[in-house]
Amino acid sequence: MGALLAISGSLRKDSLNTALARNARELVAADIELRVETLHGVPLYDGDLEQAQGIPEAVDRLKSAMREASGVVLVTPEYNNGIPGVFKNAIDWLSRPASGIAEVFGDRPFAVIGASPGGFGTTMAQAAWLPVLRTLGVRHWAGGRLMVSRAGGIFDEAGRLSDERVREQLKAFIEGFHGFATRRSES
């Protein structure tokens, strides 16, 4: 098992969630490697496309990164009180073919964090991920919570996290998840 993998569920160039993931990579202890991926290039799921052309390259790339990761952090936006369609679509692709779900997801440590410009962070989106993760058979880490609200004001112009309290929370969350993810893989 390798580095932790953080997948940002937003396609925006100036995504708050991609910025959160990138900042996590910079904040964690030197012995923790955190790889950041986005969903760019993942097409809308289409069973006909899958049958005719197989799994798209962008999906294969994410699957490989997940297989190599010691744990996966979903860095989720919240749209209309739920999971963003683009993120759920990517997870649907990653679960194809169904015979490979256990290899990609099964008992793999997963955690969910998120940032939102609104006042409630990503409470509803994170809750909406739970039945999806349960269905895929992951080992969900519930030892920490990170729902960053009013995130539009916590990054500087360069995308660096400027709120010290959130910096500390993010660092503690990722380091706690790393401990959870690596404890089992070392046994």
Phi-psi domain of 9 (left: phi exceeds 0; alpha: psi -120 through 50; beta: other): alpha
Name the pTM for this structure.
0.95
pLDDT per residue over 127-152, tens digit each? Answer: 999 999 999 999 999 988 899 999 99
pLDDT at position 186 over 60: no
Q: Based on the structure, what is the number of domains in the chain?
A: 1
Contact 8, 90 (CB under 8 A): no
| Single-letter residue type at 23 | N
pLDDT at position 187 over 50: no
Domain limits for position 164: 4-186
DSSP for 138-181 reads -EE--S---EE-SGGGSB-TTS-B--HHHHHHHHHHHHHHHHHH
Query: CATH number, domain at 75?
Result: 3.40.50.360
Nearest to 141 by CA among 168, 107, 186: 107
pLDDT per residue over 51-110, tens digit each? Answer: 999 999 999 999 999 999 999 999 999 999 999 999 999 999 999 999 999 999 999 999
The average confidence (pLDDT) of the chain is 95
